[in-house]
Amino acid sequence: MHITTEEIFEEFEELDPRDQSQFLLELGYDLPRFPPEEQRECDLIHGCQSQVWLTARAVEDGSDPVIEFRADSDAEIVRGLIAILLASYSGHTASEILRLPINDVFTRLRLKQYISPQRHNGLQGMVDRIREIARRHAPCTAYTEQSPVQVVLRQQSPAQTVASIDPQEIRRQFPVLNQVLEDGLTPVYLDSGASAQKPQVVIDKEREVEEQYFANAYRGRYRFGARIDEELETARQKIATFISAESPQQIAFTSGTTATLNAVAFGWGTHHVGAGDEILITEMEHHANFVPWQQLAIQRQATLRFIPMTDDGQLDISRLDEVLTTKTKLLAVCGMSNVLGTVNPIKELAARAHEVGAVIVVDAAQSVPHQVTNVVADDVDFLIFSGHKLYGPTGVGILYGKADRLNETQPILFGGHMIDRVYKDHSTWAAPPARFEAGTLPIVQAIGLGTAVDWISGLSVEAIHNHEQRLLRSATEQLQQIPGLTIFGPSVDHKGAIISFRIDDVHPEDLAIMLDRRAVLTRHGHHCAMPLHDLLGVSATTRASFAAYNTDDDVTALVSAIEYARDELPRRP
């Protein structure tokens, strides 16, 4: 006779947290074990880190029979979880099983504190299997479709709205901006579009991990390993909340935007784009969101098409029907251009893409730091960004996908952690996100990114956006007064915090070097957007990009440094 849920609750409530986790193990010790002949491959539950076998028996015939479950695992802690599941589900009718709010049981037992996130996935797998069996036996009216474990894991942080930010106070939090350089100047950092600087809290968090509990993730159950798993999953949850994803299971840690766009192009695109199909992109894309689609089109004998652009550097949505047709399988577009600053109407593009049955992939590398991102409201299929542009570490990026899209995406990196089962002649894959996280993750960076997201959310993305737009407007108005200076891209109302410009007869590289003499740090070149520069008819531009820590003084410094450079530099004839 199994222990009942009530008995488990009673025992739990009397114990302190350390003993509760011991009790979970003891529940496992007491569970009857399967003899080796019953540990059958066909009864294995996939998605579990350990081996879990589960069998079911309908005790009586009829439309709503009582079902008895038996289960076993090779890990004692999992056997403890099994004991809880059996106590909750076994011996109940199919419709009772489907109606049971198993989340309430998990919440009451505070399971999240005792088991790793991977175990949560395994637990989800067991619950899914039990419900699937019950569903087969239950009358149709008993169906209640929800994903119990995921609901428990999702925790919305309360929305914070801060009307404005104090850029001087923010600037003080960035050590790199507060140093006196060798020439006695302090840096005026205007290259956040390439990489943002990191606030002290992010630097401290990375240091804390390295100094206090670093270990590999999802490997060890010793205390460092357990802490790392918890920190990593907390970061995953924060990032999910930050972009309003439905579940943290839809957030995969990757190495950056470039790697992730390739993963979608060749993990999804290869299997869904064929000869004669069309891939739609834009000429304003960064090479990271251009070359993978171009190469996919070549490999799959598909056609790469482009949304026409207006003269001021926006997408010409009035001409979208010319290029978006039932042949289009995929639309890949940036949320914000890294050269023009143009902000694209993602929600509208997603709706239009879906009308013709295409999926939309958003390169959000530039947009995520500057505007609120809501993947559900915008209804995007995939959304991708990098940590280093979001005040976080380098080497970490994010893949968000709708659950169905992720499930139909094949991995392109194979190895440890991303598998479900490896046989000598073939392998099966873990469920997302693990499927896309082969090998050792950028652990410290991912945790640091979670802290960066906290930091931004603490200020509020809206407040950062308002501040940056004010700087952008002021800089634009002042730069427009400089004779011979041309700004590329739309008006401030249609763009984010980036200004790319040229001065007649001055090469952008020479200009950037002169600006550096005044410690005004800007970027020059084609900014990994050659097709766009071809369209603009120039080989390079100088780019100033703004972030939360930039101030009015930075704008003044930029303008005066440009005037200085213009006077100093010899003009080409």
Kindly state whether residue 338 participates in binding ligand PMP, applying the rule CB under 6 A.
yes
CB of 17 to ligand PMP, least distance (A): 41
Structure tokens at 73: 């695992």
CA distance 380 to 398: 14
- Judged by CB under 6 A, the stretch of 33-41, 154-162, 284-292, 306-314 that binds ligand PMP is 284-292
CB of 297 to ligand PMP, least distance (A): 19
| Residue entry with tokens 């790392």 | 228
Select 148 or 442, whichever has its Cβ closest to ligand PMP. 442
Kindly state whether residue 236 participates in binding ligand PMP, applying the rule CB under 6 A.
no
CB of 126 to ligand PMP, least distance (A): 38
Structure tokens at 153: 């894991």
- CA distances in angstroms from 58 to 44, 100, 101, 205, 439, listed in the order given: 19, 18, 21, 52, 42
CA distance 170 to 318: 41
Q: What are phi and psi of 62, to 5 degrees?
A: 115, 180
Applying the rule CB under 6 A, the residues between 422 and 481 that interact with ligand PMP are none
Kindly state whether residue 241 participates in binding ligand PMP, applying the rule CB under 6 A.
no
Contact string 341-380 vs ligand PMP (x = CB under 6 A): ----------------------x-xx--------------
- Residue 145's nearest CA partner among 134, 157, 156 is 134
Pairing of strands 523-525, 520-521: unpaired
Applying the rule CB under 6 A, the residues between 153 and 212 that interact with ligand PMP are 194
CB within 8 Å of 20: residues ≥ 6 apart? 12, 109, 110, 114
Structure tokens at 135: 């569903």
CB within 8 Å of 195: residues ≥ 6 apart? 388, 389, 394
Residue type, 316: D
Instruction: Give me the half-sphere count of Cα atoms (radius 13 Å) on the Cβ side of residue 417.
Output: 18
Residue type, 371: Q
- Candidate residues 289, 373, 460, 550; the one interacting with ligand PMP per rule CB under 6 A: 289
Kindly state whether residue 386 participates in binding ligand PMP, applying the rule CB under 6 A.
yes
CB of 424 to ligand PMP, least distance (A): 36
CA distance 540 to 46: 52
Residue type, 26: E
- Candidate residues 153, 252, 279, 288; the one interacting with ligand PMP per rule CB under 6 A: 288
3-state secondary structure (DSSP) of residue 55: strand
Kindly state whether residue 522 participates in binding ligand PMP, applying the rule CB under 6 A.
no
Q: What are phi and psi of 524, to 5 degrees?
A: -130, 165
Select 227 or 287, whichever has its Cβ closest to ligand PMP. 287
Size of the site for ligand PMP (CB under 6 A): 14
Residue type, 208: E
- Judged by CB under 6 A, the stretch of 109-117, 273-281, 286-294, 295-303 that binds ligand PMP is 286-294
- Candidate residues 88, 93, 192, 257; the one interacting with ligand PMP per rule CB under 6 A: 257
CB of 404 to ligand PMP, least distance (A): 25
Structure tokens at 209: 């991990």
Q: Which helix (H) or strand (E) holds 218?
A: none
Select 193 or 248, whichever has its Cβ closest to ligand PMP. 193
CA distance 100 to 83: 16
- Candidate residues 84, 102, 177, 334; the one interacting with ligand PMP per rule CB under 6 A: 334
Burial class (CB in 10 A: 0-12, 13-18, 19+), 194: middle
CB of 395 to ligand PMP, least distance (A): 9
CB of 125 to ligand PMP, least distance (A): 33
- Candidate residues 79, 119, 120, 286; the one interacting with ligand PMP per rule CB under 6 A: 286
CA distance 170 to 183: 24
Contact string 90-119 vs ligand PMP (x = CB under 6 A): ------------------------------
- Residue 90's nearest CA partner among 143, 37, 54 is 54
Instruction: Give me the half-sphere count of Cα atoms (radius 13 Å) on the Cβ side of residue 468.
Output: 27
Residue type, 281: I
Select 403 or 528, whichever has its Cβ closest to ligand PMP. 528
DSSP state letter for 178: G
Select 191 or 462, whichever has its Cβ closest to ligand PMP. 191
Select 249 or 257, whichever has its Cβ closest to ligand PMP. 257
CB of 476 to ligand PMP, least distance (A): 20
Select 119 or 286, whichever has its Cβ closest to ligand PMP. 286
**Which residues form the catalytic set?**
528
> Could you tell me if 172 and 178 are in contact, meaning their C-beta atoms sit under 8 angstroms apart?
yes
Kindly state whether residue 339 participates in binding ligand PMP, applying the rule CB under 6 A.
no
Applying the rule CB under 6 A, the residues between 523 and 562 that interact with ligand PMP are 528
CB of 550 to ligand PMP, least distance (A): 18
Select 80 or 369, whichever has its Cβ closest to ligand PMP. 369
Kindly state whether residue 133 participates in binding ligand PMP, applying the rule CB under 6 A.
no
Q: Which residues are near ligand PMP by CB under 6 A?
A: 194, 256-258, 286, 288-289, 334, 338, 363, 365-366, 386, 528
